[in-house]
Amino acid sequence: MKDHIELGKAGEEAATNFLEEKGYRILERNWRFGREEIDIIARDGNFVVIVEVKTRTSNVFSEPEAAVTKSKQRILIRAANAFVNYRRQGGEVRFDIVTILIRPEGTTINHIADAFYATLR
């Protein structure tokens, strides 16, 4: 079994390939703003898409997207604002979640577009 760092890297690689196959243009991977990190930043038409990737080997206890808590959403929103300002990116910002379940019987990818909005306080 892969350790959690290897598992995360494998999930991010699978998510990147999945998004590229859907026509997304990857702008950044593992972009950091201080201690905060965005897994994938992509362009989908006029949207700057902030992608949080959650990789698991099981969904017995909860679905992977449940790990994107309100606190994590706030972090992603702050980091997204920094990225847009730093890189002077135009267009709307959208927040997506890509979940990866890696199991012996195969890998399942679920893409949740517009998973949450930047209206959290």
Query: Which pTM does this prediction carry?
Result: 0.88
119 or 117, which is more confident: 117
pLDDT in tens, 44-98: 999 999 999 998 887 656 576 777 889 899 999 999 999 988 887 777 899 999 9
Query: 35 Cβ partners below 8 Å, 6+ apart?
Result: none
Residue 13: give its domain's CATH number.
3.40.1350.10
Domain that residue 23 falls in: 4-116
Q: How confident is the model at residue 1 (pLDDT cuts 50, 70, 90)?
A: very low
Pairwise CA distance, residues 81 & 87, whole Å:
10
Task: Report yes or no on 21 lying in a domain.
Answer: yes
Q: What is residue 62's predicted lDDT score, i.e. its pLDDT?
A: 59
Task: Report yes or no on 121 lying in a domain.
Answer: no
Task: Report yes or no on 87 lying in a domain.
Answer: yes
Q: Is the pLDDT of residue 4 over 90?
A: no
Pairwise CA distance, residues 66 & 62, whole Å:
7
Task: Report yes or no on 91 lying in a domain.
Answer: yes
Number of compact structural domains in the chain? 1
Pairwise CA distance, residues 24 & 27, whole Å:
9
Task: Report yes or no on 98 lying in a domain.
Answer: yes
Q: Is the pLDDT of residue 104 over 80?
A: yes
Task: Report yes or no on 86 lying in a domain.
Answer: yes
Query: 59 Cβ partners below 8 Å, 6+ apart?
Result: 101
